[in-house]
Amino acid sequence: YVSGQQYSVNALTDSSGAIVERYAYDAYGGLSVFDGSGGGRSATAEGNRYSYTGREWDDELAIYHYRARMYDSMCGRFLGRDPIHYKDGLSIYRAYFVEAGVDPSGLEVSVIGISPEGHHIISLGNGQCGYRDDEQQATVIVPCPEMPEDDPEGPSYVEGLNSILRGLSNLKTACANCCEGVCSEQECENQAVLLTNALMTAWQNNYNRPPPVPRALSGGWPHTHEECVGGQYCYTWARAYENAFNSLHLPCFGGLIDHQIPQNQIGNPQGPPGPDGKPTTNVHFYFTVYIKGSKGNSACSASYDDGFFSPKDGCSHSGICPKKPGWGPDEKNQAGNHHRHPFVRMPPFVPSINKDVR
């Protein structure tokens, strides 16, 4: 394959290097095929599917396959919505294209930090980091944020940060479904952006930065326990998210900490022994955000946890709670009434959260 600056295939050669087929494109990718001498062809005679920007051409449908969706060069449009949905801050990716930012699938640009002003910081390569200032139409270079050591028990720092950012689409869906009579959809979406930035800040400020809670006060449960993700238990992550949420006072959204337990442990604790040697009840805490007036409605909600259930899915989930087979509501309030979970006894704790999350 011989390609140009756009990675479009311009020619196909044989093993000797002789050109056997040539390709040309209009501004939108309309394909013309020629033999090695420049004579026109109605279609490829070499069985080649790769052409415009290196993507596959479907000769029967006359459209390009861009992995995540199809593209029609006749219309100059994709035939479906971008599956990444809305993702703030991608203009930096367009304006500052570097090798480190190459994204073969077109679905991901990893944010590695968030500034106090809510700018999404990415690596620009060569030890530089920055964000796009859309008002000034410029890339702002900033110091690269400190990258905490990853925890093998859950999502990495970067995976968790980006999963919360992707969760903005869940909040926007809740806005579209349920905000009528509460606030306008635009107001709801604007607040969803603020909330997402605050939750990302909570993750950034607390990942592998365990709280200064003496072991004796935390029921003997250290923050180096194997069930911690980034030095925090699911409950302290839920508290960090709650603290971030409460710092914003959002008119469109409500929020609460909730939990679920394995259904086979109702009345039969099977968790690891506590400091008193007795078995505890396994409990998973999470923070749920919902459109005000729609509490309990999954279509109007999104939830956030530590990603311990499914590190690949990350920390943000559509609906009321994260899903895991065999887990469900604590109908007997076992975690509360039985006092068998360490954090039921834990004293008040306020995780770190930078409140300047405009």
Q: Work out the mean pLDDT of the chain and round it to a whole number.
A: 80
Rounded Cα–Cα distance for residues 289 and 291 (Å): 7
Of 278 and 56, the one with more pLDDT: 56
Does residue 167 surpass a pLDDT of 50?
Answer: yes
Whether the pTM exceeds 0.85: the reply is no
Evaluate the CA torsion angle 239, 244, 245, 249 in order and state its sign: positive
Q: Provide Rg for the chain, Cα atoms.
A: 25
| Mean of pLDDT values over 297-312 | 86
CB atoms within 10 A of CB 257: 16
Does residue 1 surpass a pLDDT of 50?
Answer: yes
Band of pLDDT at residue 332, cut at 50, 70 and 90: low
Per-residue model confidence as pLDDT tens digits over 227-239: 788 888 888 899 8
Angle (nearest 5°) at CA 115 between 301 and 105 = 65
Rounded Cα–Cα distance for residues 186 and 184 (Å): 5
Taking a C-beta distance cutoff of 8 angstroms, is the pair 197, 205 a contact? no
pLDDT of residue 32: 92
Closest by alpha carbon to 182, among 250, 261, 82? 250
pLDDT of residue 11: 93
pLDDT of residue 316: 92
